[in-house]
Copies of this chain bind each other. A is one copy, B any other.
Amino acid sequence: MRVRLGVAAVIACVAAAVPGRADEGMWMLHQLPEIDARLRTMGLELTPKQIWDPATNTGLASAIPWLGGCTSSFVSPDGLIITNHHCAFGAVQMNSTPAHDYITDGFLAATRADELPARAQRVWVFKGYEDVTAKLRPYIEAGAAPLQRTRALEAREKQLVAECEASGLHCRIAEMYGGGEFYMFRQLELRDVRLVYAPARAIGEFGGEIDNWMWPRHTGDYSFFRAYVGPDGKPADYSPSNVPFKPDRFLKLAPAGVKAGDFTMIIGYPGRTMRYRIAALVAQDAEFGYPYQIKLLSDWIAVLDRRAGTGKDVEIKVASVVKGLANAMKKYQGMVEGLTKEDLAGRRRAEEAKLQAWIDADPARKAKWGDVLPALDAQAAAGAATRERDILVRYLPRVGSLLPAALTIVRWSQQSGKPDVERDLGFQARDERTIRMRLRTMQRNLDIPTDRAVLAFFFERAAALPAGQRLPALDAALAATGKTGGAAVAALVEEVLGRTSLADEKTRLGLLGLDEAAVAAKHDSLLDFAIALRRDVETVEDEGKTAEGVLIELTPHYIDALAAFRGAPLYPDANSTIRFTAATVKGYSPRDGVYDEPFTTLPGVIAKCGPVAPFNCPRRLTDAYAKGGFGPYVAAPLGAVPACFLSTNDITGGNSGSPIMNGNGELVGLAFDGNYESMTSDYVFSNTLSRTINVDIRYVLWCMDYVDNAHALMREMGVEPAHR
């Protein structure tokens, strides 16, 4: 679940939709009236308008900001934000040093003045969305060639976004149903975010990689940020004179929590699902995409682990990347296991055969949709021809720190001269601040020997690409060393990193203003290599856009056929836009003879404690437990403080940190993971097996109250501490 990687496993293809069965469905907020009757039966007390009223742009959703890869909630009128510990991990790490090891010990700001800047962190407050399909569909239906179609659509999108952002809000267009519908999402972007409180790692990340994706779970995966704005109330960069942001809405806590069978709902920003990805692509994922990436990530982690072993400072610098890679790898392993075990490709193939037969059975249907599935299959087969190369190129932004920085600088120099609407997405004027921040904050974790090691690792992989998938820039650069094999790779790393000045923060930031010619004139070894490599990457990007152009035309037809075939309400695949999922607190049977209970408890945390990480409970936790105060946080049916609980909510990566709420919209916990069996729920949700893992608000409060004495924060959230 803890996937914060920007890399996608495979090219997004069929963002299809499935009929809403039971607790399945990541619904768009404007769809709630469609399923309202069922929600009411399940236990929802709020009306759709109380959750989000498109007319007034008010409701519960306003309290739930996106963190970029994670979800969060406002929990006080003073911009206090709760999210997962693993979502705040980067901020904790950024502020840690060997002398102040907040990762291990946790951090609690004694006063607001002590809150620590989380410089790389942004908070995007939900400000509503609108349907812009009518403004974009004509560009798909215009009959242009695929690459041109994609480009025209992108240009129009940029134009619309620019118009929207004139309001001062951050805007983004998201396509739904594979391009059948388009929505413009508005967010208020807050740039001064501060770390307020994170528990010790052995609470917030208790169980670590061992327990990740697992049940029973005992992780106190929570942390707090606070959003700040300028004294004028407007978004501003960090400044000591800034003031707490006043959200339109914040969530109330429900310290009584929930019990088995209770209704729960989650609002958040699920990243990506592939609920109706075609069989051919599912088979490619299971047989090639995931296995290839598992090997890649496993070797990559080994490279970083060797570096981490050289010293505490390096260990801290690479911790966050290792965490991300390891989490992705575990997810991919679960995917392969799940997809294979459930033979999802085979089941999809059978389903598609039925759909095709149904289409073929009627001349009108056949005329309309007869060619869609065969065309999608052909596109999938074509895409497989460059699969190794495409995956490697997708990982480029994570190949150390310096090469990604160089690629960004080069691309910026190429784009910044053009009119804004012609510039690549992510390289427009609106993106400069983010890019500049990234180029600055990367200094914190920069470790040249690690960059060398990762670059060598990547070059070796790329040098081994099959014929027809080569990266010409790399081939040329390796040949130019006059050496072969490992010696060539070593020489190229030396050549590329040996004469670069990008490791200097000031130099690096200074380069971002320059045009293409000026960058080339620097004759910086790394920039020169990046200029050549960008040409290869552009080729890959253009091929991707061509495929996109094909798919955006085909997929809505496929979805239409599917909708007609099924005749049931649809929800679109997840795409990091705000969604709603309703469910029940419920255990499950992971296998014959075993029932996983819906709750774990504080005594269960204590039972797992031991001398070795990730189970090395902090002394103040075990002392507090031994002392025996549990306040009002004991759940009567359990006779103990609940630690984590399971619910049938339909979530995925990106939902991390999401508030899980009772029927009145009160906070009863935070979603932070899915169970192992839910990994394949990105492809297919299972009511019997897919579960969301939540940290119980009662465990959060007990830790705040009895372990960390975070009493001021509790009072700020309207909860009176029990511990004196």
Identify the A interface with B (CB < 8 A): 215-218, 589, 591-597, 599-601, 603-604, 607-608, 643-644
Contacts and interface: CB of A to CB of B under 8 A. Distances in A.
A608 B590 CA distance: 13
A604 B592 CA distance: 5
A603 B592 contact: yes
A644 B217 CA distance: 28
Interface centre among A216, A599, A643 (most CB of B within 10 A): A216
Given A215-B594, A592-B601, 15 more contacts: A216-B591, A216-B593, A216-B594, A217-B593, A218-B592, A593-B596, A593-B597, A593-B599, A593-B600, A594-B594, A594-B595, A594-B596, A594-B597, A595-B595, A595-B596
Contacts of A603: 592
A621 to B, nearest CB: 15
A603 B591 CA distance: 10
A580 to B, nearest CB: 27
Nearest to A602: B592
7 tightest Cβ-Cβ pairs between the two chains A and B:
A592-B604, A216-B593, A593-B600, A595-B595, A592-B600, A593-B597, A216-B594
Contacts of A599: 593
Contacts of A596: 593-595
19 contacts: A215-B593, A216-B591, A216-B592, A216-B593, A216-B594, A218-B592, A589-B597, A592-B600, A592-B601, A592-B607, A592-B608, A592-B643, A593-B596, A593-B597, A593-B599, A593-B601, A593-B644, A595-B596, A595-B597
A700 B701 CA distance: 52
Nearest to A638: B592
A235 B593 CA distance: 44
A594 B216 CA distance: 7
A603 B589 CA distance: 13
A601 B644 CA distance: 29
Nearest to A646: B593
Contacts of A644: 593
A644 B596 CA distance: 19
Contacts of A218: 592
Contacts of A593: 215-217, 596-597, 599-601, 604, 644
A218 B594 CA distance: 12
Contacts of A604: 591-593
Contact of A591 (B591, B595, B607): B607
Nearest to A645: B593
A140 to B, nearest CB: 45
Contacts of A595: 594-597
Contacts of A217: 593
Contacts of A601: 592-593
Nearest to A589: B597
A340 to B, nearest CB: 11
A207 to B, nearest CB: 12
A405 to B, nearest CB: 45
A597 B591 CA distance: 10
Contacts of A592: 216, 218, 600-601, 603-604, 607-608, 643
A239 B447 CA distance: 82
A603 to B, nearest CB: 7
A694 to B, nearest CB: 13
Contacts of A215: 593-594
A595 B595 CA distance: 5
Nearest to A597: B593
A491 to B, nearest CB: 45
A641 to B, nearest CB: 12
Nearest to A605: B592
A333 to B, nearest CB: 17
A593 to B, nearest CB: 3
A599 B593 CA distance: 6
Interface centre among A218, A597, A644 (most CB of B within 10 A): A597
A672 to B, nearest CB: 15
A592 B218 CA distance: 9
A191 to B, nearest CB: 40
A530 to B, nearest CB: 48
Contacts of A591: 216, 604, 607
A574 B634 CA distance: 43
A451 to B, nearest CB: 42
Nearest to A600: B593
A593 B594 CA distance: 11
Nearest to A592: B604
A597 B596 CA distance: 10
Contacts of A607: 591-592
A116 to B, nearest CB: 34
Contacts of A597: 589, 593-595
Contacts of A216: 591-594
A352 to B, nearest CB: 25
Nearest to A217: B593
A46 to B, nearest CB: 30
A599 B608 CA distance: 27
Contacts of A594: 215-216, 594-597
A212 to B, nearest CB: 16
A393 to B, nearest CB: 36
A256 B592 CA distance: 21
A99 to B, nearest CB: 36
Nearest to A640: B592
A551 B217 CA distance: 48
A597 to B, nearest CB: 5
A600 B589 CA distance: 12
A156 B643 CA distance: 63
Contacts of A600: 592-593
Contacts of A608: 592
A600 B215 CA distance: 20
A259 to B, nearest CB: 15
A623 to B, nearest CB: 19
A597 B592 CA distance: 8
Nearest to A595: B595
A601 B600 CA distance: 26
Nearest to A218: B592
A422 to B, nearest CB: 55
A607 B677 CA distance: 15
Nearest to A215: B593
A698 to B, nearest CB: 15
